[in-house]
Structure 1
Amino acid sequence: MAQHTLTLYELNELVRETIEVSMPDEYWVEAELSEVNDRGHCYMELVQKDESSKTPIARARAICWKARWMYVRAHFESVTGQSLHAGLKVLLKVKATFHEAFGFSYNISDIDPTFTLGDMARKRQEIIRQLQEEGVFELQKELAIPLFAQRIAVISSETAAGYGDFCNQLDNNEYGLVFHPTLFPAIMQGEQVEQSVISALNAINERLDDYDVVVIIRGGGATADMSGFDTLSLAENVANFPLPIITGIGHERDESVLDMVSNTRVKTPTAAAAFLVDHLSRVYMRIMEAQEALLSLVGRRMEYERMRLSRLSEKIPALFRLFRTRQELRLDGLMRDFASRVQGKLESQRWQLSAREVAINALVGRLMEAKRQQIRLLEEKLRLMDPQLMLKRGYSITLYEGCAVKDADSLKSGYEIETRVANGTIKSIIK
């Protein structure tokens, strides 16, 4: 048995004195947070992992006392835009302490936010590089927002002020345009952001035909706890989503990876609503301009056709007269030509045809009579086709706006029509 024994308290006191003497200074230490418990004082579990196997090779407890923690937390969050959470790499200024009752821990006096920013930037660049290697980083940019983007799937916290602002902006737009937003609730800050937003995307994916575009919004509150939007899994889900995604997650500092892979990034929920209103209003203006151009074109075409029909109706009598004159002249010419040829033939071959003279004269007479009969028939047909004669027989022509009426169903009550008869014109009102 040892000649001298120590109580546990005495041994712990000796350890405390040894640490105080041998390690009187503060040290800057790099570590990863495995647990963070903010209870006024902030209690942390620190860990260091093997680079290749990612298994822990060192662990320690650390504490930042309330009076110091208020300043350290505010400074860290204002610089990095997020709160301390598990998985974050930090650079801590610590002093080794040992308490007889509570054991060993590190007392934290400061945290360097620039170190964490560098680690965050490195992780972000690694995610971007992996997305680019997979060929999905720009996939959302290749999707076109539909012209009539009115059916909107919204991923947001149901109680967030930003969601209410978004809906109010859509409902009260100055153009009176109608939108149909549907909320898919999700947790929009903290460690559950990634899985919650992915679950909402999966729910939308089951009803793709019901929506034109997806909007992910997060408004109001501090800009802390944004790390959930900088994850590889969420970025892959957004990049590969078949509908255009608009993000407005309400932070000014830097684009998150989610913003980078989305189709369109705006700053706030109200800006997302304004973007959709502006997009649809531009489509509406294009439709109105096309409508005006079409109406103008149709009006000009109708006026042209109306004038053309009026000119044709004026030309019909003259065309009949011209046709009759041309036919008479043609028949006269045929008769003269025929007579000339017969006479020439008779004169040149009279000595050969003397025996047939009687037969030829008879034949010529029959032919002449036949031609005359044809002429008389043509004259009679032309006479019967004369519109004026049709009017004298008791027929009439009904016109509306200068055009002949062929279908009674085309006339409506109140139309003024004109009826032409042989000796004048009658105007009537349809009842």
Structure 2
Amino acid sequence: MDALSLYDLNALVRRSLEQCLPDTYWIQAELSDVRTNSTGHCYLEFVQKDPRSNNLIAKARGTVWSNVFRLLRPYFEEATGQAFVSGIKVLVQVTVSFHELYGYSLTVQDIDPTYTVGDMARRRKEILKQLEEEGVLTLNKELAMPRLPQRIAVISSSTAAGYGDFCHQLQNNARCFYFHTELFPALMQGERVEESVLAALDKINSRLDSFDAVVIIRGGGATSDLSGFDTYLLAAACAQFPLPVITGIGHERDDTVLDSVAHTRVKTPTAAAEFLIDCMNDAADELDVLADRLYGGVQSLLSQEYQKLASYKNRIPSAAYRYISDAKFALLAERKDMAQAVTSSLSGHRHRLELLQQRLADASPEKQLARGYSITLKNGKVVKNASLLNEGDEIITRLHKGEITSIVTNESSKK
């Protein structure tokens, strides 16, 4: 039996593939296990998954040689805003090769970034649709921005230039508004963006009463590092966050999913600071308008009151004269009434006195004596009871005219 060595078989496979598949081919696949070595070559795996079960149904080893990779990578990342990393879908031009030692592989010659852009857009659309179906897509946008957003929780890298620009812009605003900022450090590029930002949001959520708004900013990073802001979990967390979320993650071409659910999206960290300053300006301008209206209203009211006061002042002399005249007439009338009342009272009292005088005159002893009555006195005192007299007592009988002196002579006079 003739037997082939493994090498001979592999060589046969290589020659057969080279003869059957001599051209380049455009394939759609997902990147997996992307890594580069010190010489600049990129090694990776292309995979395809079943859309329903998500199970792998195909896999192939891939290579991007350094002379191609140093041109292909920046071109792809600039066009897509997406890093050339595992997990993204690509449309690449490859040649098929087989090596006796390393086996089957695909060598990348070119890439079409528009396919990846379309896939990213589709993925963003799917996330936004899911959030809408869950009823949370616009929750953060519906929150009212505080009239004076001065206490700001900042999610950013502590070393990011954008964070420094943001703080500098706030601290040097033209009207000297005060802002308090507190940094919650997070990774703003790489594969741990989602995890890091979510952790920062959790810390802020535990201190909601300390802040008016949340600002997520990123400055100085490559546009290829934006994929971390296109995740469902991060978008859902921001959409449902109880404070307004402002994003300024430094790109202009497309909104990330995070931008789409945030309360306010601006282009840069500096623009985020300007937005907060503008909110303060609006409130200050409104206060100025209200102050002007208040000043004008007070001036108008004072003018009206001054006019009233002047009118009252002019009316005082005539009112006083009329009041004094009325009082004078009233006093004269009271005086006349009082004189009449006094005269009437004196007349009544005089009449009563005359009656009393007549009654006294009628009751006087002289009047009684003139009528024929007499008065018997003993020792100057009137005798009212004869039994009180003793024999030999001297008594005086007083008549209307004259007196009679008598001596009591017997006891019969006592009967």
Q: Tell me if structure 1 keeps the 8 A contact 2:25–2:94.
A: yes
Deviations 1:266-317 (A, max 9, x none): 1001011111111112212222332343344335545655665676577667
Partner-residue secondary structure (3-state), 2:124: helix
Per the alignment, do residues 363 and 212 of structure 1 end up closer, same or farther by CA in structure 2, a change over 3 Å counting?
closer
AA of the residue aligned to 1:118: G
- The residue correspondences of 1:31-430 to structure 2 (distance < 5 A) are 31-39=29-37, 40-302=40-302, 305=305, 319-329=319-329, 365-366=343-344
Query: Could you tell me which of 4, 9, 12 is aligned with 2:2?
Result: 4
Q: Distance in 1 between matches of 2:256 and 2:202?
A: 21
AA of the residue aligned to 1:146: P
AA of the residue aligned to 2:35: N
- Report how far residue 198 of structure 1 moved: 1.1
Per the alignment, do residues 363 and 147 of structure 1 end up closer, same or farther by CA in structure 2, a change over 3 Å counting?
closer
Aligned length: 344
Per the alignment, do residues 368 and 95 of structure 1 end up closer, same or farther by CA in structure 2, a change over 3 Å counting?
farther
Q: Distance in 2 between matches of 1:221 and 1:206?
A: 29
Partner-residue secondary structure (3-state), 1:140: coil
Per the alignment, do residues 230 and 369 of structure 1 end up closer, same or farther by CA in structure 2, a change over 3 Å counting?
farther
- Report how far residue 175 of structure 1 moved: 1.3
Q: Distance in 2 between matches of 1:6 and 1:218?
A: 60
- Report how far residue 11 of structure 1 moved: 2.3
Larger radius of gyration: 2
Q: Distance in 1 between matches of 2:23 and 2:110?
A: 14
The answer as to 2:8 corresponding to 1:30 is no
Q: Tell me if structure 1 keeps the 8 A contact 2:189–2:221.
A: no
- Report how far residue 8 of structure 1 moved: 2.6
Per the alignment, do residues 369 and 192 of structure 1 end up closer, same or farther by CA in structure 2, a change over 3 Å counting?
farther
Per the alignment, do residues 138 and 363 of structure 1 end up closer, same or farther by CA in structure 2, a change over 3 Å counting?
closer
- Report how far residue 9 of structure 1 moved: 2.2
Q: Distance in 2 between matches of 1:201 and 1:58?
A: 39
- Report how far residue 110 of structure 1 moved: 1.1
Q: Distance in 2 between matches of 1:333 and 1:134?
A: 93
AA of the residue aligned to 2:127: I
- Report how far residue 221 of structure 1 moved: 3.1
AA of the residue aligned to 2:92: L
- Report how far residue 326 of structure 1 moved: 1.9
Q: Distance in 1 between matches of 2:170 and 2:114?
A: 40
Deviations 1:332-377 (A, max 9, x none): 67999x9xxxxxxxxxxxxxxxxxxxxxxx989427999xxxxxxx
Partner-residue secondary structure (3-state), 1:95: strand
Partner-residue secondary structure (3-state), 2:141: helix
Per the alignment, do residues 363 and 188 of structure 1 end up closer, same or farther by CA in structure 2, a change over 3 Å counting?
closer
Partner-residue secondary structure (3-state), 1:142: coil
Partner-residue secondary structure (3-state), 2:33: strand
- Report how far residue 238 of structure 1 moved: 0.7
Q: Distance in 1 between matches of 2:277 and 2:240?
A: 25
Q: Distance in 2 between matches of 1:133 and 1:297?
A: 52
Q: Distance in 2 between matches of 1:221 and 1:210?
A: 30
Q: Percent identity?
A: 51
Partner-residue secondary structure (3-state), 1:57: strand
Deviates most, 25-34 or 144-153: 25-34
Q: Distance in 1 between matches of 2:324 and 2:165?
A: 83
- Report how far residue 4 of structure 1 moved: 2.4
- Report how far residue 54 of structure 1 moved: 0.6
What is aligned with 1:16? 14
- Report how far residue 10 of structure 1 moved: 2.2
Per the alignment, do residues 171 and 368 of structure 1 end up closer, same or farther by CA in structure 2, a change over 3 Å counting?
farther
Per the alignment, do residues 363 and 173 of structure 1 end up closer, same or farther by CA in structure 2, a change over 3 Å counting?
closer
Unaligned runs of 5+ residues in structure 1 are: 339-361, 371-431
Q: Distance in 2 between matches of 1:267 and 1:220?
A: 13
Partner-residue secondary structure (3-state), 2:258: helix
Unaligned runs of 5+ residues in structure 2 are: 349-415
Partner-residue secondary structure (3-state), 2:281: helix
Deviates most, 301-310 or 195-204: 301-310
Per the alignment, do residues 55 and 369 of structure 1 end up closer, same or farther by CA in structure 2, a change over 3 Å counting?
farther
Q: Distance in 1 between matches of 2:121 and 2:110?
A: 21
AA of the residue aligned to 2:221: G
Q: Distance in 1 between matches of 2:226 and 2:347?
A: 111
Partner-residue secondary structure (3-state), 1:290: helix
Q: Distance in 1 between matches of 2:347 and 2:86?
A: 121
What is aligned with 2:409? none
Partner-residue secondary structure (3-state), 2:9: helix
Q: Distance in 2 between matches of 1:292 and 1:267?
A: 36
Q: Distance in 1 between matches of 2:116 and 2:317?
A: 97
Per the alignment, do residues 17 and 289 of structure 1 end up closer, same or farther by CA in structure 2, a change over 3 Å counting?
same
Deviates most, 83-92 or 262-271: 83-92
- Report how far residue 323 of structure 1 moved: 2.8
Partner-residue secondary structure (3-state), 2:175: coil
Q: Distance in 2 between matches of 1:75 and 1:317?
A: 97
AA of the residue aligned to 1:38: T
- Report how far residue 223 of structure 1 moved: 0.8
- Report how far residue 329 of structure 1 moved: 3.5
